[in-house]
């Protein structure tokens, strides 16, 4: 039994090529967001993620999971999935009951916003670690260390009471332990294997330049857009020759709808200093053929030549021929 995860790991990290061998997500987690507007209105959202790629949704009306990819089930059987859905429905019901009871007992003010994240991740040594953290009203509330509920300092006495309540419920704790330390690692290895073709694909970025709004008069904001790449790690810098420009500012990575990423690198320069600058992009999909875009380079002299000079020459030639004929 113990050997199986290691065999799967060998498949996921082939040949010991170091870290480059495996790119793509290394963790699975479920996010629960529960909102209680008052004592009679609550709403739960749940979703499942491989790092920052969503593979599961949750239909809260029917209490069933939505599989967003054909391989989202990993190697978990349909019976076990049915069981897990039942578990999650029961958990949400119990959670609602606890929260409402707790709110009336301790006079907690509505609205109550609760967020939780629970899952597991591959660790560098090849082991798999599990985690569960909860937040109330946007502040850390509690987390699990091993199999013990630990109240967060920000949660105050409420978090301490909640943890006591949770730890007293042995059935729930045992269920949770199975989910975190058995089901999740098994599922993670299975789904990373099932989705390998998509999770470990390489998609090349496209890059283009534009001018941003001038920061102040006499200055320019150069913008280098890089879009459509996968996986996430990317290197984008404004350069002068071989020299990295330290003023390069990178935006956050933003997701495109097709599981690729978008990023913007900007440089604020004095007008006149922009000539000779270029934007350089390195990404694993480019296999060392970096994209280099030069600022302000004429659209390509060749193109201008073709578009303007050649038609003019032809026109001139035609005119000359026509003129000669007439004579
Ligand atoms: C509870 O909140 C919901 C949603 O905001 C609202 O429609 C409903 O009228 C509220 N009920 C009470 C009893 O305040």
Q: Is the peptide bond before 111 cis (omega within 30 degrees of 0)?
A: yes
Once rounded to an integer, what is the mean pLDDT over residues 294-314? 67
Alpha-carbon distance 164 to 150, whole Å?
A: 9
CA distances 80 to 58, 150, 241, Å, are 17, 30, 58
Whether residue 288 is predicted with pLDDT greater than 80 in this model: the reply is: yes
Rounded to the nearest whole angstrom, what is the distance from the C-alpha of residue 67 to the centroid of ligand 1? 32
Q: How far is the CA of 117 from the centre of ligand 1 (A)?
A: 27
| Binding site membership of 39 for ligand 1 (Cβ less than 6 Å) | no
The answer to pTM > 0.85 is no
Q: Does residue 41 line the site of ligand 1, with CB under 6 A?
A: yes
pLDDT in tens, 243-260: 999 999 999 999 999 999
The 10s digit of each residue's pLDDT in 23-47 is 789 999 999 999 999 999 999 999 9
- Do 76 and 193 form a contact (C-beta atoms < 8 A)? no
Nearest to 48 by CA among 97, 95, 81: 81
Window from 130-134, 282-286, 293-297, 302-306 with minimum mean pLDDT? 302-306
Of all atoms in ligand 1, which is nearest to the CA of residue 37? 2
| Res 111: pLDDT | 95
The pLDDT of residue 303 is: 58
In short, whether 38's Cβ falls inside 6 Å of ligand 1 is yes
Nearest CA, atom 14, ligand 1: 38
pLDDT digits (tens, 9 = 90+) for 169-218: 888 889 899 999 999 999 999 999 999 999 999 999 999 999 999 889 99
Burial class (CB in 10 A: 0-12, 13-18, 19+), 132: buried
- Look up residue 12 and give its two tokens: 């996921």
Residue 199 class from Cβ within 10 Å (0-12 exposed, 13-18 middle, 19+ buried)? buried
Given a cut of 80, whether residue 283 has pLDDT beyond it is: yes
Cα distances (angstroms) measured from residue 122 to each of 3, 128, 148? 16, 5, 21
Distance 36 CA to ligand 1 centre (A): 10
* pLDDT classification of 5: cutoffs 50, 70, 90: very low
How far is it, in rounded angstroms, from Cα 179 to Cα 157?
28
């Amino acid at each position: 039994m113990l050997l199986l995860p290691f065999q799967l790991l060998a498949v996921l990290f082939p040949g010991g090529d170091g870290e480059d061998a495996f790119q793509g997500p290394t963790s699975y987690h479920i996010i629960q967001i529960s909102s209680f507007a008052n004592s009679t209105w609550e709403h739960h959202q749940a979703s499942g993620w491989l790092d920052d790629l969503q593979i599961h949704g949750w239909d809260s009306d029917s209490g069933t999971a939505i599989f967003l990819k054909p391989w989202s089930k990993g190697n978990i059987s349909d019976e076990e999935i049915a069981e897990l859905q039942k578990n999650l429905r029961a958990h949400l019901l119990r959670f609602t009951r606890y929260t409402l009871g707790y709110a009336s007992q301790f006079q907690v003010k509505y609205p109550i916003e609760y967020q939780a994240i629970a899952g597991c991740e591959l660790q560098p040594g090849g082991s798999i670690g599990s985690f569960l953290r909860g937040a109330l009203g946007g502040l850390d509330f509690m987390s699990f260390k091993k199999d013990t509920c630990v109240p967060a300092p920000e949660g105050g006495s409420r978090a301490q009471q909640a943890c006591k309540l949770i730890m007293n419920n042995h059935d729930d704790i045992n269920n949770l332990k199975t989910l975190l330390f058995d089901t999740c690692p098994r599922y993670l290895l299975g789904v990373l294997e099932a989705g390998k073709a998509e999770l470990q694909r390489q998609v090349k970025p496209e890059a283009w330049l534009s001018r941003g709004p001038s920061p102040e008069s006499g200055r320019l904001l150069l913008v280098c857009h890089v879009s459509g790449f996968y996986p996430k790690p990317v290197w984008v810098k404004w350069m002068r020759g071989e020299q990295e420009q330290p003023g390069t500012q990178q935006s956050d990575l933003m997701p495109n709808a097709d599981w690729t990423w978008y990023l913007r690198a900007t440089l604020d320069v004095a007008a006149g200093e922009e000539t000779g600058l270029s934007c350089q992009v390195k990404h694993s999909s480019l296999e060392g053929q970096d994209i280099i875009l030069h600022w302000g380079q004429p659209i390509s002299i060749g193109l201008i030549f073709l578009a303007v000079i050649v038609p003019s020459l032809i026109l001139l030639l035609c005119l000359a021929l026509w003129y000669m004929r007439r004579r």
